Amino acid sequence: MNKAILLMLLFFGSIAISSAQSIPVNPKLLNSHWPAYWITCPDVPQRDYGIYHFRKIIDLKTTPAKFIIHVSGDNRYRLLVNGKAVCNGPARGDLYNWHFETVDLAPFLKSGPNIISAVVWNMGEHAPVAQVSNQTAFLVQGDSEAEKIINTDKTWKVTENVSYTPCSTDNGARLKSYMVIGPGDEVNAAAYPWGWENLQFNDTKWSAARQIANPAPLGYGTDNLWTLVPRSIPLMEETKQRLQEVRRTTGISGVKDKFLTGNSALIIPANTKASVLLDQGFNTVAYPELITTGGKGASVTLTYAEALFKNGVKGNRDEIEGKEIIGNYDRFLPDGGTNRLFRPLWLRTFRYLQLDIQTKAQPLIINDLYGQYTGYPFQAKASFTSNDNSLKEIWQVGWRTARLCAGETYYDCPYYEQLQYEADTRIQALISLYVTGDDRLMRKAITDFYNSRVPEGLTQGRYPSNRLQVIPTFSLFWVSMLYDYWMHRPDASFVKGYLTAARGVLDWYEKKIDQDKRILGPMQWWNFVDYTDAFTEGVPEGADNGNSSIITLQYIYTLQQAAQLFDYFNQKEEAARYKKLAQELSQNTYRLCFDHEKTLMANTPEKKKYSQHANIMAILTGTIPAKESKEVMEKILQDQTLGQATFYYRFYLTQALKKAGMADLYYSQLTPWRNMLAIGLTTFAEKPEPARSDCHAWSASPNYDFLATICGIMPDKPGFATVRVEPALGELNEAKATMPHPAGEIKVSLQRKGKTGMYAEVILPLNVTGTFVWQDKEIILKSGISRIKFRE
């Protein structure tokens, strides 16, 4: 391999992912100010757009067995040691909870001189909405006396990288959509300080870093710019990923797929204008890496899209005829040098990547182009198979969707927003628990929303966020997340710390109760329920001006969960009050809003409009009597005049099916997911066509329901202490599943025998018992293997 490419791949290539975040922090650093300094570049606007390089040479007498440091930056940093990428961050948070990463640099160090370097960037006014910031800054703190040589102070050197200019800053206007992921990068290679990360680089013209302040951990300091907390999640994964196909070219011929293997360069002749459309084959999230030689004065624009457009319509995602690419883009301006590597500062989302190239007097050689897939390092431990092989693709596409929507936070969507919303996150977290057993991102999300609370007691609708947005219904789903964690994880102490905040959310709603009708009255903020055409901006009638049955019922749903939570933690009086309030609201909602002629719950007492949503929540809460619930459920499924639930709210439709004893119908309700696959989607979309986002994790709920509904695996007691297996096979004859459990692994194998017969084998972890339910009959499950037979 060419030495220049090797050096650049060490810089930009895969980050070494280890057990870095399990390294303990020196207790002294958690109980006092740090000796190191936050440092910055002098004589630059501290809150404006800018990219900066920091470096310091340290001399070591011997190769250390360990060399633990703590590192952070604002907005973001990428740390290198001897030219090799070590980590990036910080994990997104807020100024009160500013994360630092803990890493052991020993594997990257050697005896003698070592170069420690970092690129730090501040997107300024162009920053993603998910990015909170104070000012440009960088920090490295050695864990002990042995590592203090690395501490950031004025001995570090710094320079501004003026080769960067923000581009693609008008994405929202061009795509006619809300898009807040930050700018693209335009890089002028002629101004780039190539080799800055290497030991031999001459930095004599660089400035001494300016010291800002000594860092303060959470609970300390009186004038903090950032309050530091340890990172609670692992470092992100980076894995090389090749594009699959050249789909279209203009201005140049003979471009073969072989170019994408990395074994054949693509040469663009001098004075040529060319375009090359590439297809990843599936939607992905990655850092694209482009390596070029020559091409002085050329321009290469990389445009990223989930789908192509024809007259503003996506249509079948596999089809490209007559379609154009519109999307976020980067631009690289080669300087004629050899093996120049362009990689954007932040990740990109794409299925299609188009290169638009304009050369001048010198030909441009594209040596290679590929992606470094990135995201939260979830490891799938669950599996699902059935006699319907088509469910395999739904499972695979659903898991890809969930993965692309998980980074340092859960994302609603990776292409447009990359924001963490409670409604999305509740579903995403359940998928994570069932498929991977990894609860760390869920715990961080719960904590993030807790930290977002406004003085009224509500959480913000999304967080971290540098813009205030309050969605009261999402605060209720945050309380539901606490309930979910409590039921699925034996970690009651974690949940207990959030009960006061949960009480604040419920109290906010209690103050909004209409004292005459005794259901919810007028409410402020954005009372979003679902992006259905039946609601205006997702808000049902009655939400703003009073007496919405849908939101009253969601409040009841949450009160019922809260009553169980508070009772478990021996807060009996509070639990009894929530239970009583839920019953009162339920009775009044039924009395005022239920239409006995239609056998349907109306959206308001005026009974002018009806929706699946109101009836779903009415069944879930038991507000509709059990004797009427099946009839109502049938109307939910069949009556197209009802306001229709989108993919997101179909998660709750499934829960209502289970509540009504009609879970066997779930299998027949997978048509929307089959339809998405039929039009070439490789991740599941935000809503039915026309969809803005082609990747929205709230639509990945089948990865939860194949296990929790079809195979029927659910916690029966808090902490998943006991298991309930109540299969709902529908038309399926066979299904098998494996899923992680806090005590080990659950395995379920199901074979239908005729209409009512069943042979089942259930394997539970050691010391875990449960109940198997079939045709209203219950069988005790023991720890280990249980074999169950029901005759036809």
Could you read off the pLDDT of 445-497 as tens digits, one per residue? 999 999 999 999 999 999 999 999 999 999 999 999 999 999 999 999 999 99
Residue 545 has pLDDT above 50, yes or no: yes
Domains of the chain (ranges plus CATH)?
18-163+192-234 (2.60.120.260), 238-375 (2.60.120.260), 512-665 (1.50.10.10), 711-792 (2.60.420.10)
The predicted-structure confidence for 647-705, as pLDDT tens digits, reads as follows 999 999 999 999 999 999 999 999 999 999 999 999 999 999 999 999 999 999 999 99
Average model confidence (pLDDT) across the chain? 96
**Whether the Cβ atoms of residue 223 and residue 361 lie closer than 8 Å to each other:** no
Altogether, the residues listed in the chain come to a count of 792
Q: Provide the pairing of β-strand 68-74 with 600-601.
A: unpaired
Q: What does the pLDDT read at residue 1?
A: 36
Task: Give the 3-state secondary structure of residue 633.
Answer: helix
% of the chain beyond a pLDDT of 90: 96
> Which residues does residue 237 pair with via DSSP β-bridges, in sequence order?
375
User: Cα(356)–Cα(783) distance, rounded to whole angstroms?
Assistant: 61
From CA 227, how far away is CA 216, in angstroms rounded? 6
Spatial distance between the Cα atoms of 342 and 540, rounded to a whole number of angstroms: 47
Average of pLDDT values for 122-150? 98
Share of the chain above pLDDT 70, in %: 97
Alpha-carbon dihedral 646, 647, 652, 657, rounded to 10 degrees: 100
Reported for 173-176, long-range contacts at CB under 8 A and 24+ positions apart, including other chains, are: 174/326, 174/327, 175/326, 175/327, 175/416, 176/312
Question: Confidence band (pLDDT; 50, 70, 90) for 22?
Answer: confident
Please state, in angstroms and rounded to a whole number, the distance separating the CA atoms of residues 727 and 730: 9
| pLDDT value, residue 755 | 85
Could you identify the residue written with the tokens 């604040």?
A: 504
Mean pLDDT score, 215-227: 96
Q: Look at residue 792 in the predicted model and tell me its pLDDT.
A: 81
pTM: 0.96
**pLDDT tens for residues 88-104?**
999 999 999 999 999 99
pLDDT at position 281:
97
Q: How far is CA 75 from the centre of its chain?
A: 19
pLDDT of residue 21: 63
Q: Inform me whether the pLDDT recorded for 4 exceeds 70.
A: no
Please report the pLDDT score of residue 5 as a whole number: 40
pLDDT at 297: 97
- Structure tokens, 328: 């976020």
What's the Cα-to-Cα distance from 657 to each of 461, 552, 601, 630, rounded to whole Å?
28, 20, 16, 9
Mean pLDDT of 157-170: 98
Sequence-distant (6+) residues with CB within 8 A of 63 are 106, 109, 110, 111
Residue 475: name the closest of 504, 437, 442 by CA.
Answer: 504
Q: How far apart are CA 97 and CA 450, in angstroms?
A: 11
